[in-house]
Structure 1
Amino acid sequence: MVGAGVTGTRLPTPGEDVADDPEAAVAWVAEHLGDLALEGPDGVRASPAFRGGQGAADAALAALDVTGYASRRSQVLPERSRGASRMSPYIRYGLLDLPAVWRHVADAPPRDRTKYRDELLWQEYARHVYARTGSAMAAPLRYGPPRTGPWEGDAWPAEMLCVRTVTDELRGDGWLVNQTRMWLASQWTVRAGWDWREGEDAFFRHLLDGSRAANRLGWQWTVGTGSGKPYGFSRWQVEKRAPGLCGRCPLQDACPIQDWPSEATGPRVPVEPEGLRAGSPPALAGPAAVEADGRAPAAVWLTFESLGDDDPALRAHPDLPVVVVFDAPLLARLRLSGKRLVFLAETVADLATRRDVVVSRGAVPGALAGTPVAVTHAPVPGFARRSAAVDVVERHPWRWLVRPTGGPAQSFSAWRKGVRTP
């Protein structure tokens, strides 16, 4: 029987109705995963801005035109003037890989192509830093948090219209343009002085594209722990990037961010993570070629890092059943927003229209006990821990845009000079 070796709690595989209907996806998540969601079963909602699944990802890529990206990428309002590509949720889960998106913009205007590809390289750099530092990325990489002036009240005060507008989008859509991510991170830590790791966790719970690699690196560079140069959020950015917003704010005549924050770079950390230095091996980079022990896999294990049709292990075994595990202990600890779980359910349902998919809920080693699997390597610490307890008989390489080397990684510019792009 298909999936007979998979233990844990077997869930009904979400069907075509879940792939096509957001309400059906919400109902499936509420019933089977709702107790793990941030909002609880009754609060699960779908993002009104994004649908999960390979079909949605392919449609988004086909429609991607980065003409004007260089000049409009940081625009916040009006929304119709935004230049952000909105590809990040699909990249995050491997529905689109960075090499495919890189190729797609090859014919774009040169200035826009260069700027957009720089953003793809930043995503790759974040993965490299995570692959090289692992869990050490949860601590300041190079400097302590900035020393800030006094701040009273919440870090994200609802009475500030700029903050409320952006946090409503974060909690509602599960996505933000990069400019407003910087606003919220700077406001949280650089101005209010709150712990950046708690703010990063808030982002991670809500953002559809939340990844420890990109999310943590973005926060560290914004608040200065990764660069030594804190980004100062003030009214000037709001008036430039979201014209008209300040004029509607109840605090327009008493703006608490009227001037630049009095941030000061924190002290250097005593010892930077070894993985940032030149010559450090990329510990989590994974194999450069398929590693196999000669046994035949019984299933393909898809991780949430790589759920797309082009996953190398999936491609290599078109006739094998696919196993997806919702890691209940991990999800109970993370408390992700229901909209992220709905996005994932839609993605699994979409895949199930083409492949035999077995869905399980439980700890990954227990859910896959007794099942020899083929899997694509994921350059994250969690994969290293879980795959070590799983019978992996075939490990496929991660689809890097630029395979990690031992070059310097203390800064994006230093790393960028040392890599060869496609």
Structure 2
Amino acid sequence: MTTSFPRRPIRRDRCRPRRLVDVPLLPVPPADQPGAVDWVRRHLGGLTREPRVTASTFLGGQEAADAALAGLDVTGYASTRSAVLPRSARGASRMSPYIRHGLVALPEVWSAVAGAPERDRVKYRDELLWQEYARHLYSRLGGKTARPLRHRQPSTGTAWSGEPWRQDMACLAAVVAELREDGWLVNQTRMWLASQWAVRAGANWAAGEDEMFAHLVDGSRAANRLGWQWTVGTGSDKPYGFSRWQVRRRAPSLCESCALAENCPVESWPDARPGAPVDGPDLGRAPIPAGPARVEGGGGEVVWLTAESLGDRDPALAAVPDRPAVFVFDEPLLARLRLAGTRLVFLAQTLGELATTRPLEVRLGRPEVELADLPLAATWTPVPGWHRLARLARPVEVHPWPWLARPGTFTLRSFSAWRRDVGRSDSPIG
């Protein structure tokens, strides 16, 4: 390729933060999954949750995302979306990792199911709207979603014996193993783990959300925190109760094989009621930050990529097909989060494939240092980390975020109330 990457030295003046480790640029990751696993071990292994780095069953990259979208068939989804075992009975689409990382945008998925049977199409699109609702909520509240939105965490008033996700229970052991080995769960078992952790065991819900987030290949604070708050009752009117009934209905083989089948700790429904109201953030009708409706500025020579938008069709990437790009693995953030290797392998493989289509630099350090002085083009992103870094990096060209329903002055009190506001707006899905 003829396009060169603008060079600039890293400054060492006192007013600019220093890199944690003064190392050269990382080599570009391989585009194949085994190569990406080895790359993560070599270059990010000291920052992962566990020394062992493995891959999930999800292949990273645009090619895998496009294949998943092309093969998307939600026929029967309304009846099978909550199935757990056998896995062959699951109706979940497994599109979430590609949606979360911007390899496929929500409007593309919305359009892809236009010809599905009505009941399945409506149910699946409701799930896409839930994802959009989560992004709207996160765009307005940001880090405030880490605290209870409406109620204190409920309590059953009874003591729980052992760790929240007890491994002597076949249901919990199987679900936790899938979470840690594959980095993905169907929505039904995500609810099991959240309810078990916070409602029945009484452990801090935010700590449980952190644990799940660290492993999910599709993990986003927007969707994961909303899911936990809705399930455990801190953001809804009623806690979801996990019990043996759900396991027998969705995965009966787990009960049949459990050593505690005759003495099940979750035999009955937990007696949990909503906690006391909290003085949380205003969820009423108010403007939601949406970013620019059209390109602002111009002259960007390098595309700044983030984990929210890694696809070929990222607006800033697509604007100039051969424009070079840069991705920074945020070293202080990774050191704090300690993400599972499966998450980082997915990102590495995606970056490796992207590097076959345009010049790409991959860096490790503090993004505000690594991006300093580069003439950046970027896609506006509805996460607080992007806004913090954008104030420091000052991109000269900012592209609109590909919303499914562009935010307006909407209520966030509940999904249904938000959905009514969206329906009254000029959104194309209204």
TM-score computed with the length of structure 2 as normaliser: 0.93
Cα distance between partner residues in 2 of 1:59 and 1:243: 32
Counterpart of 2:284? Answer: 277
2:98 is the alignment partner of 1:90 = yes
Counterpart of 2:35? Answer: 24
Aligned AA (2:287): P
Question: Could you tell me whether the CA contact under 8 Å between 1:6 and 1:369 is conserved in 2?
Answer: no
Counterpart of 1:182? Answer: 191
Question: Could you tell me whether the CA contact under 8 Å between 1:301 and 1:374 is conserved in 2?
Answer: yes
2:273 is the alignment partner of 1:264 = yes
User: What RMSD in Å do the two structures reach over aligned CA positions?
Assistant: 1.2
CA displacement at 1:319 relative to structure 2: 2.6
Counterpart of 1:398? Answer: 401
Identical amino acids, percent of aligned pairs: 59
Cα distance between partner residues in 2 of 1:213 and 1:63: 27
Counterpart of 1:385? Answer: 388
Cα distance between partner residues in 2 of 1:102 and 1:5: 42
2:320 is the alignment partner of 1:317 = yes
2:255 is the alignment partner of 1:243 = no
Counterpart of 1:146? Answer: 154
Residue 128 of structure 2 is aligned with which of 114, 120, 127? Answer: 120
Question: Could you tell me whether the CA contact under 8 Å between 2:160 and 2:200 is conserved in 1?
Answer: yes
Question: Could you tell me whether the CA contact under 8 Å between 2:155 and 2:200 is conserved in 1?
Answer: no
Any idea what SS the aligned residue of 1:410 has? coil
Question: Could you tell me whether the CA contact under 8 Å between 1:13 and 1:352 is conserved in 2?
Answer: no
Question: Could you tell me whether the CA contact under 8 Å between 1:234 and 1:260 is conserved in 2?
Answer: yes
CA displacement at 1:135 relative to structure 2: 1.0
Alignment of 1:343-422 (within 5 A): 343-420=346-423, 421-422=428-429
Cα distance between partner residues in 2 of 1:85 and 1:409: 27
Any idea what SS the aligned residue of 1:52 has? coil
Question: Could you tell me whether the CA contact under 8 Å between 2:28 and 2:360 is conserved in 1?
Answer: no
2:302 is the alignment partner of 1:289 = no
Cα distance between partner residues in 1 of 2:373 and 2:385: 20
Residue 214 of structure 1 is aligned with which of 217, 223, 240? Answer: 223
2:117 is the alignment partner of 1:109 = yes
Give unmatched runs, 5+ long, in structure 1: none
Residue 172 of structure 2 is aligned with which of 163, 168, 171? Answer: 163
Cα distance between partner residues in 2 of 1:227 and 1:155: 22
Any idea what SS the aligned residue of 1:245 has? helix
Aligned AA (1:25): A
CA displacement at 1:5 relative to structure 2: 2.9
Question: Could you tell me whether the CA contact under 8 Å between 1:129 and 1:213 is conserved in 2?
Answer: yes
TM-score computed with the length of structure 1 as normaliser: 0.95
CA displacement at 1:391 relative to structure 2: 3.0
CA displacement at 1:11 relative to structure 2: 3.2
CA displacement at 1:10 relative to structure 2: 4.2
Question: Could you tell me whether the CA contact under 8 Å between 1:6 and 1:367 is conserved in 2?
Answer: no
Aligned AA (1:396): H
CA displacement at 1:12 relative to structure 2: 3.8
Question: Could you tell me whether the CA contact under 8 Å between 1:12 and 1:359 is conserved in 2?
Answer: yes
Aligned AA (1:286): G
Question: Could you tell me whether the CA contact under 8 Å between 2:113 and 2:121 is conserved in 1?
Answer: yes
Deviations along 1:190-233, whole A, 9 cap, x unmatched?
10000000000001100000000000000000000000210000
Cα distance between partner residues in 2 of 1:112 and 1:98: 17
Question: Could you tell me whether the CA contact under 8 Å between 1:6 and 1:370 is conserved in 2?
Answer: no
Counterpart of 2:13? Answer: none
Structure 1 outlier segments of 4+, above 4 Å: 6-10
Aligned AA (2:74): V
CA displacement at 1:76 relative to structure 2: 0.1
Cα distance between partner residues in 1 of 2:197 and 2:398: 41
Question: Could you tell me whether the CA contact under 8 Å between 1:224 and 1:231 is conserved in 2?
Answer: yes
CA displacement at 1:4 relative to structure 2: 1.4
Give unmatched runs, 5+ long, in structure 2: 11-18
CA displacement at 1:405 relative to structure 2: 1.4
Any idea what SS the aligned residue of 1:326 has? strand
Deviations along 1:32-57, whole A, 9 cap, x unmatched?
111111113xx11111x111100111
Deviations along 1:253-273, whole A, 9 cap, x unmatched?
000000000112100112x31
Counterpart of 1:132? Answer: 140
CA displacement at 1:355 relative to structure 2: 1.0
2:247 is the alignment partner of 1:233 = no
Any idea what SS the aligned residue of 2:373 has? coil
Cα distance between partner residues in 2 of 1:256 and 1:88: 32
Counterpart of 1:61? Answer: 69
